[in-house]
């Protein structure tokens, strides 16, 4: 688990599989109780690290693509709020 805000961050689990579920890329694993659970693949180290994240080394909390996506969402919400 690599998601910094998840309570299991830093813990390792036995990988089961990876699949698209609920229209999301998810990883299944065996938890400490022996149960199979799943979570978003982005919250794990199943993929190689994003080169931007590696180079930023914690100095930049947001990628440009992520900030542009948030700006687009804000624009959509503004239009809806104004009744347009």
pTM of the model: 0.57
Contact 25, 62 (CB under 8 A): no
User: Residue 42: what pLDDT?
Assistant: 87
Residue 52 pLDDT level (bands cut at 50, 70, 90): confident
The answer for 57, left when phi > 0, alpha when psi is -120 to 50, beta otherwise, is: left
Residue 57 pLDDT level (bands cut at 50, 70, 90): confident
pLDDT digits (tens, 9 = 90+) for 1-14: 888 888 888 999 99
């Amino acid at each position: 688990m690599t998601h910094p805000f998840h309570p299991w961050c830093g813990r390792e689990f036995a990988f089961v599989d990876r699949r698209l579920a609920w229209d999301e890329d998810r990883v299944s694993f065996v938890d400490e109780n022996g149960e199979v659970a799943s979570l978003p693949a982005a919250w794990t180290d199943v993929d190689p690290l994003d080169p931007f994240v590696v180079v930023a080394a914690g100095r930049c909390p947001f990628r440009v693509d992520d900030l542009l996506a948030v700006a687009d969402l804000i624009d959509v919400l503004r239009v809806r709020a104004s009744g347009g």
